[in-house]
Amino acid sequence: MTPEDILETARTIGPYLPDLVGAEAETVQIGLATYLAKAQAGEAVDNDILELLAQRDATREWARQFLQDKVPPPVTRSYDPLAGSVSVIAAATFVCPVEGCNYIWYRPRTGIAPPNCPIHNVTLVPAPLSESSA
């Protein structure tokens, strides 16, 4: 697990926070946004992010699974064309178009429109290939 993996976890968990921690979602999102801004400024914040996510069972488990699979747990899908190995199919990834925003959302299935960024209230756009490939 690299510092970049932990930053990716912090960028990705946002849309799942209301389901994971309910009323505490905004508090956790603000904490993550603060750490992500510090990371952009060159500070090492990976341990701080892990500590924040470890404070709640649901976010700790979600982060553990994400760091292991590199795909948000609810988005993990498999495809088995014939008897044999199972592979993970990459989910469509969307990002906030506002420069400097780190908000990421994975489409759980085809046909679901991306939501607005909860920070800037603008429609998310498809991520460049470098951000959507893990």
pLDDT digits (tens, 9 = 90+) for 89-100: 566 888 889 988
Mean pLDDT of 109-115: 79
C-alpha to C-alpha distance for 100 and 38, rounded to whole angstroms? 11
Q: How many domains does the chain have?
A: 1
Residue 83 banded pLDDT, cuts 50, 70, 90: low
Q: Cα 126 to the chain's mean position, in Å? A: 14
* % of the chain residues with pLDDT over 90: 25
**What does the angle CA 121 – CA 127 – CA 130 come to, to the nearest 5 degrees?**
145
Show the domain range for 82. Answer: 3-132
**What pLDDT does 89 receive?**
55
Using pLDDT thresholds of 50, 70 and 90, give the confidence band for residue 132: very low
Q: Mean per-residue pLDDT for 79-85? A: 54
